[in-house]
Amino acid sequence: MRPAFAVGLVFAGCCSNVIFLELLARKHPGCGNIVTFAQFLFIAVEGFLFEADLGRKQPAIPIRYYAVMVAMFFTVSVVNNYALNLNIAMPLHMIFRSGSLIANMILGIIILKKRYSIFKYTSIALVSLGIFICTFMSAKQVTSQSSSSENDGFQAFLRWLLGIGALTFALLMSARMGIFQETLYKQFGKHSKEALFYNHALPLPGFIFLASDIYDHAVLFNKSELYQVPVIGVTVPIMWFYLLMNVITQYVCIRGVFILTTECASLTVTLVVTLRKFVSLIFSILYFQNPFTLWHWLGTLFVFIGTLMYSEVWNSLGTTKSQPQKDKKN
């Protein structure tokens, strides 16, 4: 029952989160910092109350290790959200972040000296090809949409290139953080809820450097049109409502993934998260009518087939089917 509930949380939370994030980004493309700050603050407060027991509970993993992880996590979160301000459409943003397997494999080979099967290399090649197709077609869209003036078009393309660079950097940094986290868990054991709290609480002072931008967007949010919240009937600026819903749905999504990691095998978690990304992508395309060509669909198909191949879902399904037959023979 708990795994089914967790899957429901992941799909409901994450898909809703994408919608509210895009509503925010469409109205104010540069609002990434205030969104990141709100998400971090909410999860940190919740963790301080229920995980850290108001600061009385000692961490199982020394703080100095969390400091390193937090520096990477904070950077990844800020850069990923800021990329939306650099001509990066939400569908491309989601597809690009689905390429984490590539970064994990590259850094795994370099740092951990891992070796993989031909099947896994093939799956990564499919993911890489899919991301390349989507990125290339998005580049053509950026240049064609900004062709009113040659200078404006070139500047828009440069901003888009900077956005791609930001996403690539965040992808590699996220993979490096995953490897660091893996080595910590091997040494100290798994403490994912504790890690969730410290990863969101320790970076909060870093937002001081982004305070000016956060304040400017708070002022802009205050000036947005008023919206009456259903059921409770309270009237608030609509951008604050979008931000609140984004934070709540982000938390629901994270809680769902956390329950899944404690109740299910890692393969099941990978499959659920992959399917969730695909559903979120469909939501974004249909609900917001984002431009998505046949080439984009082909690239997306390559990314998700490659991801499922890498996680060896079909092998596991075959093993599951053959298991009852063996039991019957016995």
- Largest Cα separation within the chain, whole Å, is 75
| More confident: 10 or 292 | 10
Indicate if the pLDDT at residue 281 is higher than 70. yes
Q: Is 280 exposed, middle or buried (0-12, 13-18, 19+ CB in 10 A)?
A: buried
Cα 264 from chain centre:
20
Q: What is the pLDDT of residue 218?
A: 96
Residue 227: strand pairing partners: 236
Q: What is the pLDDT of residue 211?
A: 95
Indicate if the pLDDT at residue 269 is higher than 80. no
Mean pLDDT of 257-275: 69
For 14-18, 221-225, 250-254, 272-276, which range has the lowest pLDDT when averaged over its residues? 272-276
The DSSP bridge pattern shows strands 226-228 and 235-237 to be antiparallel
Reported as a pLDDT band with limits 50, 70 and 90, residue 327 is low
For 78-82, 148-152, 230-234, 251-255, which range has the lowest pLDDT when averaged over its residues? 148-152
User: Tokens 């995953």 — which residue?
Assistant: 178
* DSSP 8-class letter at 202: T
Mean pLDDT of 70-89: 84
Mean pLDDT of 318-324: 53
Where do the DSSP E strands lie in the chain?
A: 226-228, 235-237
Q: How far apart are CA 299 and CA 266, in angstroms?
A: 25
Indicate if the pLDDT at residue 19 is higher than 80. yes
Q: What is the pTM of this model?
A: 0.74
Reported as a pLDDT band with limits 50, 70 and 90, residue 65 is very high
Tens digit of each residue's pLDDT (9 = 90 or more) over 123-161: 878 877 887 787 777 666 655 555 555 566 778 788 888
H/E element holding 40?
Answer: helix 32-50
Rg of the chain over Cα atoms, rounded to whole angstroms, equals: 21
Reported as a pLDDT band with limits 50, 70 and 90, residue 214 is very high
Q: Is 95 exposed, middle or buried (0-12, 13-18, 19+ CB in 10 A)?
A: buried
Mean pLDDT of 199-227: 93
Q: How far apart are CA 17 and CA 15, in angstroms?
A: 5
Indicate if the pLDDT at residue 52 is higher than 60. yes
Q: Which of the listed ranges 188-197, 310-319, 321-330 does the model predict with the highest average pLDDT? A: 188-197
| More confident: 73 or 240 | 240
CA dihedral 194, 200, 205, 208 (to 10 degrees): 180
Q: How far apart are CA 159 and CA 164, in angstroms?
A: 9
Express as a percent the part of the chain with pLDDT over 90. 23
Within 10 angstroms of residue 286's Cβ, the number of other Cβ atoms is 10
Indicate if the pLDDT at residue 240 is higher than 90. yes
